[in-house]
A and B are shown apart, each in its own frame.
Chain A
């Protein structure tokens, strides 16, 4: 038993290290001096620690990079876009749609179609989306990106939540029906509350994918810095100062800075995710 436990712990530690290494490397790089960043072979533990990467911009061939501290305006844009897109797609589209599909429509084909939509590579829609967003004059605005992100996260969240609604015991909904709740009240007073872990999961996944999205942000809001609505991934590209010349230290520092919001969302949501689905409503 003990030997087995040790083996399991060893394997888990190894996997954790593999996952944690990129984060460690980013942190270390952000603290290195510019010379140690480029040293070969790479240095695991910097001999000298500096915070200058966070606020000093790099100047290459007269092109000037952004700084991590300067990311605040992009962070605000990203936060607003990711939050609005996530909340709208989760609460106004995915949750009602998933509930209706599970309880009322019960169409396997429609459910499969939704799953299918999540499998199409997003790049397929770049041109049509650009044209649509341009035609409704939403280029370079929050709303242009929000609409695009909603259309990507809603099908996935719907698919995810269908599983959770399926697990809500029908007897609880029937009890609510007899207690006098209208179908709409049953949805938002009972069933929606019972799928809280699913809602949280949908919010986290949707938020992270909106936060990290680069391709559409590039196409729909691309204009010289600083622009009307630009998200963090675009901001990070500014550390590629000129072709093949990366401000690695600054990029790492900015990376740490900009991963904080998703980290906070994740930590906050984790305790909800860990809770049981039906919280013991039904025995046996």
Chain B
């Protein structure tokens, strides 16, 4: 069973801490995504697992074996790079065969194995071609084939979809998911694209500035973000985040700032402090009713079946997701309605989510 366990992993370049005390457990056959903005250390984490960089402190175990001091080739991991990193001077067959060749596999076995993998990835027809003669999508499959051909225990993917155009990316995403299921291999996938992460992952670890902020399945990550960073990073368009204060009135708890006052219904907050209120665009509605927060439409974006309406409430900007085409234009006076039960609160100081139990 090839699970990957990371314990107290720290990576420094000189005095710069890139990864700070990371602990993580990826189960066997899991499709695990490392999600974070650029500079969060997600690629470095992947490179440390691959053995391309030295660990400053902490340990990595692959399949129960400590691999800290093992060379990349001794770890039996496979990696697909963002730019695929194919060997340009070799044809596709030679690219896929090289890992077997250097391991001393016989020509007959190599040939059989390469053709087998090529068939799985539907690239049988490309074997004689050079990497520059095939398309980006095909290059990616060749890179995958080269990684899979030697039956690695762990599969590491470093933003493998970011060089493909949008349509191909969706296809490749589905293909990768199917392939992973078919081959049944522990996979770590690095991406900065939260939509990509949530569509393929069994679990996601969110990284920010070298630390893991949350590890959860995509649903929980979206619905119950543990802190304000995760809340803002996961989901597109981003969650609306509004600074203000909480106070307890006779009618119940209320969130307020200079632009708005929002009753929280039955939800309670522990203390009267400064908070950040978060609400997803699809949890808001906007209409010309008389109830709700008064605001002005500043932008309307139509995305086919849904649309995003940006409303300025005083100095606060709220993005609202609506089904279909909205009957409003820029400059219209509208009202925004909140559903108190879908509002999240975060501590202003440490960014952690504040529980809001109901009375």
> How many angstroms between the C-alpha atoms of A185 and B71 in the bound complex?
15
> How many angstroms between the C-alpha atoms of A121 and B88 in the bound complex?
39
Chain B: which residue is nearest A172 at the CB level? B85
Which one, B52, B83, B98, B163, contacts A179 given CB within 8 A?
B98
Q: Which stretch in B73-81, B265-273, B298-306, B326-334 binds the other chain?
A: B73-81
Chain B: which residue is nearest A185 at the CB level? B102
Instruction: Give chain A nearest CB distance to B102 CB in angstroms.
Output: 5
Instruction: Give chain B nearest CB distance to A248 CB in angstroms.
Output: 49
* B55-83 to A contact mask, C-beta < 8 Å, 1/0: 00000000000000001110001110111
* B273-314 to A contact mask, C-beta < 8 Å, 1/0: 000000000000000000000000000000000000000000
| Contact A180-B73, Cβ < 8 Å, known A281-B131, A282-B83 | yes
**Number of residues of chain A lying within 8 A (CB) of chain B:** 25
CB neighbours (8 Å) of A178 from chain B are 50-52, 72-73, 77-79
| Contact A283-B88, Cβ < 8 Å, known A180-B73, A180-B99 | no
* A241-280 to B contact mask, C-beta < 8 Å, 1/0: 0000000000000000000000000000000000000111
| Contact A283-B98, Cβ < 8 Å, known A178-B52, A179-B146, A194-B88 | no
B89 part of interface (Cβ distance < 8 Å): yes
Q: Which of B184-228 contact A (CB under 8 A)?
A: none
Instruction: Give chain B nearest CB distance to A103 CB in angstroms.
Output: 13
A175 part of interface (Cβ distance < 8 Å): yes
Q: Is the CB of B88 within 8 A of A175?
A: no
Q: Is the CB of B102 within 8 A of A180?
A: yes
CB neighbours (8 Å) of A190 from chain B are 87, 89
CB neighbours (8 Å) of A179 from chain B are 73, 98-99, 102, 146, 150
> How many angstroms between the C-alpha atoms of A176 and B85 in the bound complex?
9
CB neighbours (8 Å) of B163 from chain A are 283-284
B319 part of interface (Cβ distance < 8 Å): no
Which one, B83, B132, B136, B139, contacts A171 given CB within 8 A?
B83
B315 part of interface (Cβ distance < 8 Å): no
Cross-chain pairs A/B with CB under 8 angstroms, 20 sampled: A169-B85, A171-B83, A174-B50, A176-B87, A177-B71, A177-B72, A178-B79, A179-B102, A180-B150, A181-B102, A190-B87, A278-B88, A279-B88, A279-B89, A280-B131, A281-B85, A281-B86, A281-B131, A282-B83, A284-B163
A-to-B contact residues, CB < 8 Å: 169, 171-172, 174-182, 185, 189-190, 193-194, 196, 278-284
B-to-A contact residues, CB < 8 Å: 50-52, 71-73, 77-79, 81-89, 98-99, 102-103, 130-132, 136, 139, 146, 150, 163
Known pairs A174-B50, A281-B88, A282-B84; list 12 more (Cβ under 8 Å). A171-B85, A172-B86, A174-B81, A175-B87, A175-B146, A176-B98, A180-B102, A194-B89, A280-B132, A281-B83, A282-B83, A283-B139
